[in-house]
Amino acid sequence: MDRGRRIIGFVLICISLLGLFSWERYGRDRFLYDDILELKSNAERGTVITERMIRTVKSENPGSGVLRPSDRDRVIGQEASQFIHGEAPLYREYFTKQGMAEGRDVDRYVMNIAEEWIDSSPSSMRKGDRAYLYAEGKLVTDALVRNVSEDHGGIELIVSRREQQKIAALAATGCRFVITYN
């Protein structure tokens, strides 16, 4: 009987060690960690995200809103709307449609085309559309639409500094714009 207890005790210790080893080797990763996306290195505002810039890592308690590997296709081809630290969890708010990030460092600025400057524009124009500004029958510029104000009738466009100065100079002379979009 005493010998049987020793064998059972030894078998229980071996099973416990095997269980502990299995948990540390396989179970912990599977049950306690979630796969999330992160950038391999820092990304400046305006950087277009590519496949090579993203990696999948395991994280404990990543929080809500963190991008998962299933969101990889949504991120690729998007543009960083702000500086993003490498090796930090990614969130949807960090990205915008390509060409929509604005700021001095990417030479893109938001310019409000006031309702008084507009002769005609389509009412179906929405954020992300490419708008074409015409003045006196000539194409002035094309730019992405950032916002269409239903209340004030103005349109916010993302333009370069040169385009901004060109539009402002035409508006200062009293020129009115015809806007189309694609």
Backbone CA torsion sign across 101, 105, 107, 111: positive
Q: Is the domain of 56 the same as that of 126?
A: no
Q: Is the domain of 17 the same as that of 55?
A: yes
Average pLDDT on 144-161 reads: 81
Instruction: Report the number of distinct structural domains present in the chain.
Output: 2
Q: Is the domain of 79 the same as that of 110?
A: no
Q: Which residues contact 79 (CB under 8 A, 6 or more apart)?
A: 46, 47, 48, 49, 95, 96, 97, 98, 99, 100, 101
Q: Is the domain of 78 the same as that of 152?
A: no
Tokens 């500094």 -> residue: 161
Give me the domain span that covers residue 86: 2-96
Q: What integer pLDDT is reported at residue 145 of this predicted model?
A: 87
Q: What integer pLDDT is reported at residue 2 of this predicted model?
A: 81
Q: What integer pLDDT is reported at residue 102 of this predicted model?
A: 66
Each residue's pLDDT tens digit, 86-142: 888 999 888 887 766 666 666 778 888 888 888 888 888 888 888 999 998 899 988
Full-model pTM:
0.58
Instruction: Output the domain CATH number for residue 8.
Output: 3.90.1210.10
Q: Is the domain of 85 the same as that of 108?
A: no
Domain final residue, candidates 45, 70, 96: 96
Q: Is the domain of 71 the same as that of 118?
A: no
Q: What integer pLDDT is reported at residue 59 of this predicted model?
A: 86
Q: Is the domain of 9 the same as that of 77?
A: yes
Each residue's pLDDT tens digit, 30-61: 777 888 999 999 998 888 899 999 999 988 87
Each residue's pLDDT tens digit, 9-18: 899 999 999 9
Instruction: Output the domain CATH number for residue 173.
Output: 2.40.30
Domain final residue, candidates 73, 96, 119: 96
The helix, strand and coil proportions of the chain, stated in percent and rounded to the nearest 5, come to 35, 35, 30
pLDDT band at residue 27 under the 50/70/90 scheme: confident
Q: Is the domain of 53 the same as that of 9?
A: yes
